[in-house]
Amino acid sequence: MKWKGYIPVVMMIAVLAVFVGAQEMLSRTPQPDMLQSQVSGPGNTLQEVRRFELELELRNDQDIEVHYVSDDQGFPLATVRREDRPRHSTGEEAVEEIRILVESSPALTGNEPLTLIQGILDQLQVNQADLKDLELEFELMDGTQREIELEVDNDDDDDND
């Protein structure tokens, strides 16, 4: 048998396979980062949310503010302002960030506010130890409203005498 005659054909097949694999990898559209939280999300959707306002104050005196409002026609207004990062977002970019935050969070209608807070902190990549104050208010399209406030008192200058 003449194996030397098949070597160019085998090499061409290998090169074509590499090109097809590279094309497959390059043609994938990048998806926004959705972090896996330690708490599970039950399938919240942004279409269920009429209003979502989140304000976090961090120990380094930086704030994170997330505001979302959808009118009756479904036209959203959104802003995300993070002093811990160099950029802020508005419009469609902010709507997408808020969509990811809402959809990856635990149930908004659940009765476990600490679980919801932890899921939001996980998604925003904020360490619990860095949190000073949190205020979350939202209203769902079905009329459900919720307000959660958390103030972390970790000051060591209190006298316990």
Average pLDDT over residues 27-36: 50
C-alpha–C-alpha distance, residues 87 and 84, integer Å: 9
28 within some domain = no
Residue bearing the bigger pLDDT, 13 or 101: 101
C-alpha–C-alpha distance, residues 96 and 83, integer Å: 19
123 within some domain = yes
129 within some domain = yes
Nearest to 49 by CA among 91, 78, 90: 78
Q: Chain-wide mean pLDDT for the chain?
A: 82
38 within some domain = no
Q: How far is CA 150 from CA 36, 114, 118, in A?
A: 23, 9, 12
- Could you tell me the residue range of the domain that residue 78 belongs to? 47-151
- CA end-to-end distance (rounded Å), the chain: 95
How many domains does the chain divide into? 1
Each residue of 48-84: pLDDT tens digit?
A: 999 999 999 999 989 999 999 998 777 899 999 999 8
